[in-house]
Amino acid sequence: MRRRLAAALALLVAAGGIVAWRLDLPARLGWRERPAAGLTLYGNVDIRQVQLGFRVSGRIAGMAVDEGDRVVAGTELARLDPRPYEDGRRAAAAQAAGSAATLARLEAGPRKAEIAQAAATLAEREADLANAVLALERARQLALRGTAPEAALDQARAAKEMAAARVASAQAALRLLEEGSRSEDIAFARAELQAAEANLSAADTQLQDTLLQAPAEGVVLSRVREPGAIVSPGDAVYVVSLDRPVWVRAYVAEPDLGRIHPGLTVEVVTDTAPDRPYRGRVGFISPVAEFTPKSVETPELRTDLVYRLRVVVENADAALRQGMPVTLRVPAEDPATPAGRGP
């Protein structure tokens, strides 16, 4: 009985050793270090898309491209009716011109002819004053002789005072012209000109915004609006898929995280052409762990925690399409290179 039990135990131990050897349990449990090997990850192509629209409102006057057309940076896509913005631009330009003329007039000061006219007016007022002084003196002499009433003397005195006041007014007017414009008036006119120029610049920008252009090279995916439609700022008119950048969104398990680092060069392989891999470079590794998404095909358990990473494809072409599943081949770690660090 004991011999049979010992034989059965020996058979179980041998079977367990064979299973452990086949499954490489010591390496999986960390009892011994496995030889470094290449890492395979799985992900999907992610291409940036942009919804394009006008920054101003208006009626669409024309659409230049259709779905499937290729565009480059600066390609005209659509145009709004520019007439309302052209009218606004002309009004802003007229306002700026008027403000500029006002500022120039104040900075130049009064003309010589205006100063000469003020000086002539002063001379005229001084002559009137001299005549009023003589008339007052004659009225005083007549009043002393009793040949003129007191009322005549009062009228002559009042006329003389009025003439003196007009002389003082003419002198002040001449001094103002000779001193020129006030610095405060010039500063106010300059501020008004700056405001008018800002309005003109805003009108120019709004007029330019009636033209919708492609921001970069790509392919038109959707044509959302048609000519004649009234759009508001921000309404989507086209959806464009950009050629650059193209990246792969993949996930790496926590035990293999130390073998991935930003800047690491990897191969991106498609099912269509597995013999022509693309060259990629790891550009981003998420610092937050998450559960494996259902869209990721890996041999690991679905409940394992993984880290999302982004691989930028450096030599992408039209064969890489949005959402296409790809395989990432991470080269074997160089024994001389510490884990988690670049070359």
Instruction: Give residue-wise pLDDT tens across range 279-319.
Output: 999 988 888 877 666 555 455 544 467 888 899 998 888 78
pLDDT band at 33 (very low <50, low <70, confident <90, very high): very low
Name the region of 103 (left: φ>0; alpha: ψ -120 to 50; beta: rest): alpha
| pLDDT, position 337 | 44
- pLDDT of 13 higher than 90: no
- pLDDT of 14 higher than 70: no
Asked whether the beta carbons of 129 and 166 are under 8 A apart, the reply is: yes
- pLDDT of 277 higher than 50: yes
Indicate the SS3 state at residue 182: coil
- pLDDT of 18 higher than 60: no
How many C-beta atoms lie closer than 10 Å to residue 89's C-beta?
19
Strand order in the sheet with 230-231: 211-213, 76-80, 58-63, 230-231
CA distances from 91 to 52, 83, 126 (A): 29, 13, 49
CA distances from 34 to 94, 164, 304 (A): 81, 116, 21
- pLDDT of 326 higher than 80: yes
Reported as type and span, the H/E element at residue 118 is helix 112-145
| pLDDT, position 274 | 85
DSSP state, residue 74: T
pLDDT digits (tens, 9 = 90+) for 157-192: 888 889 888 888 888 887 777 777 788 888 999 999
Mean pLDDT of all residues belonging to the chain? 82
| pLDDT, position 333 | 63
| Dist. CA 240–CA 237, nearest whole Å | 10
pLDDT band at 197 (very low <50, low <70, confident <90, very high): very high
- pLDDT of 22 higher than 70: no
| Dist. CA 326–CA 228, nearest whole Å | 43
| Dist. CA 37–CA 29, nearest whole Å | 17
| pLDDT, position 252 | 87
Indicate the SS3 state at residue 274: coil
- pLDDT of 339 higher than 50: no
Q: What is the token pair recorded at 43?
A: 């992900």
| pLDDT, position 16 | 59
| pLDDT, position 229 | 96
Cα three-residue angle 294-47-210, rounded to 5 degrees: 135
Torsion angles phi and psi, residue 317, rounded to 5: -135, -170
| pLDDT, position 90 | 96
Mean pLDDT, residues 206-226: 94
| pLDDT, position 340 | 40
- In sequence order, the 6+-apart residues with CB closer than 8 A to the CB of 235 are 53, 54, 224, 225
DSSP state, residue 60: E
Nearest to 239 by CA among 47, 2, 32, 57: 47
Q: What is the token pair recorded at 196?
A: 């008018």
